[in-house]
Structure 1
Amino acid sequence: MKIKSRALLGVLNSLVVFVIRMIFKTTRLEFVGDSLDRCPFADTGSERYLYSVWHDSVIPPLFCNVEHNSVALISQHRDADTIEAMLKAARMGAIRGSTTRGGASAMKKLMTSAEGKHVVITPDGPRGPHHQMKPGIVFLASHSGRSIIPNAFAASRSWKFQGSWTSIWIPKPFATVYYLVGNPIHVPEDISREEMREYTDLVQEKMEELEQELEQILTGPVQERSTVPFRKAA
């Protein structure tokens, strides 16, 4: 059943955000290796990045920290109204737009809206396929001058909620959430279609490598984990 009342939708979104926030207050966040130096919570100076996060892992970057120096790029489709409301309730900004429509001028306008902020993008959204990189984030990087930073999240224990084309996972109370941040990938300006495909494949490869590394951390010996705990803001 689709909720049409904006007031009721706002109440439900706030309730969901409250429950998830309470869960995250019990979790332990650990950064793998030197990931803390490149995450959206770090002091990156004047550099601003495009953070690539798979659609099924969007909950951790919203609730790992209360204060955000980033905004999420979400679809202009009406279905994204609920997502925008949840982002607002989670105290994270949102910009509406597309990485595949409007050309260079639209990209510049889009990035002006995000000036001074990192941009979080789900490159396999909004309709999938699951974990399949689309070229939009590469196109945006080429026209904005911002580098792409791959991200991966995993939890020691979690719930998975299956949607139409992908699942969304939420850590269980008192779980450990692992955050792995890759190295920046710079995309040159005015790249050709062939080069765009090559960079899209490169980002896909790096995202998969991060996922595999986290899988090894979850299944490997605890004493071999190279992680740094992070104290979340109150």
Structure 2
Amino acid sequence: MVRVPVSPRFLGTALAWLVRLWHLTLRVERINTAVFTDPQLRARRPVIMLWHDEIFPLIPAHAGERMACVVSQSKDGEILAAALKSFGFMSVRGSSSRGGMRALIAAKRVMDEQGVGVIFTVDGPRGPRHKVKPGALFLARLAGSPIVPVRAVMSRAKVFHRAWDKFQLPWPFSRCTIIYGDPIVLPDPGDDPAEMQRQCEYLEQIMNSLGKNA
């Protein structure tokens, strides 16, 4: 039997259409949207931080809003980048484990040239789950941008427990609440790893508190 190779671009486009159709069945509610849509905030090119397991409803909910996403250099990342392009997002390839610094520099360049904010799954690409890594903080400091925490809380979802992030797929016709936190500007931690760790833990606390507001 001859196997016909399927390109990541084709898979990503197909995935995007599936996500669109799925999203049409969801009841999406947004909390504190005014902060996220504020033109003054957009002009400051914010770094949007998400949890990796909550991205499914967030991608179609923000289609066409001219933002860039940091996507891993894995094969799965190729498919995700193609899907994101279908929704109007730009992609910056790299992660904390592969090409991390190159990705941050590339993201800063896109922010400067396109005048856009960047979306960052702060616990990706391999976890630990719901633990903030320093990448988003480095980028925010590099670009002089505020950090905006965003959560997606699903009323009913299929949880993939074997995945490192326990990825959540909302059931059709379920409710998804998207909560936007206020912009955060943190002091420069310098070369102090303890201060950087404190800032990461502070952001984790904010993300956890947002989830309780759904």
- Regarding TM over 0.5, the answer is yes
Please give the alpha-carbon distance, in whole angstroms, between the structure 2 residues aligned to 1:78 and 1:15. 16
| AA aligned opposite 1:53 | L
User: TM-score scaled by structure 2?
Assistant: 0.83
CA 1:106–1:15 in 2, change beyond 3 Å: closer, same or farther?
closer
The corresponding residue for 1:73 is 70
User: TM-score scaled by structure 1?
Assistant: 0.77
Please give the alpha-carbon distance, in whole angstroms, between the structure 1 residues aligned to 2:185 and 2:29. 26
User: Cα offset for 1:67?
Assistant: 1.4
The corresponding residue for 1:93 is 90
User: Cα offset for 1:75?
Assistant: 2.2
What per-residue deviation string (whole Å, max 9, x for no partner) do you get for residues 31-80 of structure 1?
12xx11122x5534522211110000111221114312211111234542
Are residues 1:194 and 2:194 paired?
Answer: yes
The corresponding residue for 2:13 is 14
CA 1:102–1:153 in 2, change beyond 3 Å: closer, same or farther?
closer
User: Cα offset for 1:153?
Assistant: 0.7
CA 1:86–1:158 in 2, change beyond 3 Å: closer, same or farther?
same
User: Cα offset for 1:14?
Assistant: 2.4
User: Cα offset for 1:149?
Assistant: 1.0
CA 1:183–1:162 in 2, change beyond 3 Å: closer, same or farther?
same
Q: Which runs of 5+ in 2 are unaligned?
A: none
The corresponding residue for 1:29 is 28
RMSD: 2.6
CA 1:141–1:26 in 2, change beyond 3 Å: closer, same or farther?
same
> Of 45, 59, 62, which aligns to 2:59?
62
In the TM superposition, 1:50-199 aligns within 5 A as: 50-98=47-95, 107-115=104-112, 116-189=115-188, 191=190, 192-199=192-199
The corresponding residue for 2:43 is 46
Are residues 1:206 and 2:203 paired?
Answer: no
Q: How many residues align?
A: 207
Task: Verify the 8 A CA contact 2:70 2:107 in the aligned structure 1.
Answer: no
Please give the alpha-carbon distance, in whole angstroms, between the structure 2 residues aligned to 1:142 and 1:26. 39
Identity of aligned residues (%): 27
